[in-house]
Amino acid sequence: MKTVVVTGAAGFIGSNIIKGLNARGVNNIIAVDDLTQGDKFKNIADLQILDYQDANQFYNLFDKNYFGAVEAVFHEGACSDTMESNGQYMMQNNYGVSCQLFEACQKQGARLLYASSAATYGASQNFTEDPKNELPLNVYGYSKLLFDQHLRQLLGTQFSKAIHQVAGFRYFNVYGPREQHKGRMASVAFHQFHQLKKNGCVQLFGSYDNFAAGQQKRDFVFIDDVVAVNLWFYDNPQAKGIFNLGSGKAQPFNDVALSVVQALTATKLSLEEAVNKGLITYIDFPDALKGKYQSFTQADLTQLRAVGCQHSFSSVEQGVSAYMANLQNL
């Protein structure tokens, strides 16, 4: 039986993909990560894998076909810190490594399903997978965009039919279990859970960019939906290209906060009631984020639907409720 590789295996999305594979009986998985941050092991301790490989050795070994027949690689490994300013490190880690992995997959006949990012859109107000909409605000977004551009050129050539499946997913704001190691980069739902537990209230940014307090909107997508779409592509090797992976519906940060409050207080408070009770509070928008912040994102799912993926996504209310139950049971 061929093996499956998951890079970034002890990370948020990678570990959930392994969980999803395990649920369908796939355990012959090579997990690849860098466990310098040792507590990330908790994300894979309850999962079934065939082998673990350190990221610093894996890519060169994979180049040499060291692991034999590999069916597919779920490439989730990357530096995802949007505040990282070391461009050389970011480009090598996110772009260079991805190019190396792609070439090795093509030589070996392995399929590549990889993590791109909605950060490729940056300053744009349009979120279709079109070069004119790609305006990254930071080097992280650019490192993801450059690899997308590289593949877009290859898939647009006369040789595209000979290219083994490669699909990139522009993740929007993903939240859910197994993200506790991410620190400041964890989702707002995660931080709000702990804020409410510790301080009795959650904090949101005040008015900014012509949006009222807490009304900046993002496409929040539950991790179970992200896994489901990845596995749909795993089941459909004919599907190639670059695809948005979000719910397709922008919702304000106020919706997330209110869902957290409702779940943890077991009430159906309205937003106004939650604010009046001091359960939701607003702080001044940070100067450090001005001009670098996406106040609105919403995945256009036209291309995803066009290849046949008809997955139905959770709303913020559904996803956050499930997530809060998970966090309370830890």
User: Which residues are marked as active site?
Assistant: 140, 182
Rounded distance between C-alpha atoms, residue 251 and residue 218, angstroms: 6
Phi, psi of 235 (to 5 degrees): -80, -15
State the chain's maximal CA–CA distance in angstroms.
62
Q: Which of 244, 252, 243 is nearest to 295 (CA)?
A: 252
Return the structure tokens found at 117. 């990012």
Q: Are 155 and 129 in contact (CB under 8 A)?
A: no
Query: DSSP letter at 122?
Result: B
Q: Reduced to 3 states, what is the DSSP secondary structure of residue 114?
A: strand
For β-strands 202-205 and 217-218, DSSP reports them as: unpaired
Residue listed under structure tokens 């998985």: 29
User: Which residue(s) pair with 51 in the sheet?
Assistant: 30
For β-strands 251-252 and 217-218, DSSP reports them as: antiparallel
Show Cβ contacts of residue 3 under 8 Å, excluding neighbours closer than 6 positions. 28, 29, 30, 50, 67, 68, 69, 70, 71
